[in-house]
């Protein structure tokens, strides 16, 4: 099974004109999601707003840290998870 970095590197080679920028943006997106807060503001602050790698990095972090309970619509865990992401 591939790690998230191996998958990101493969996607960078396949989809990006600049794989190094994709991976830089991926790392920044991962770290921004780990830190919490406003992802758009963080992307703008580091001049990566709209970069696919940033978005994929943030999504990969959230997918790795999510639990099955996070995806049961309306469950207390799901509501807390969503509120936590929006308020962070």
Decide which of 42 and 4 is more confident.
42
- Determine the pLDDT at residue 87: 46
Q: What is the pLDDT of residue 7?
A: 86
Given a cut of 80, whether residue 77 has pLDDT beyond it is no
Residues 6 or more apart whose CB falls under 8 angstroms from that of 76 comprise none
Residue 46: name the closest of 18, 24, 76, 63 by CA.
Answer: 24
- Write down the pTM of the prediction: 0.70
């Amino acid at each position: 099974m591939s790690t998230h970095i191996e998958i990101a590197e493969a996607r960078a080679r396949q989809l990006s004109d600049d794989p190094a920028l994709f991976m830089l943006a991926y790392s920044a997106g991962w770290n921004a999601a780990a830190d919490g807060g406003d992802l758009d503001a963080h992307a703008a602050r580091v001049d990566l707003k709209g970069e696919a790698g940033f978005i994929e990095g943030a999504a990969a972090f959230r997918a790795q840290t999510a639990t099955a309970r996070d995806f049961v619509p309306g469950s207390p865990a799901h509501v807390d998870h969503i509120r936590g992401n929006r308020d962070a």
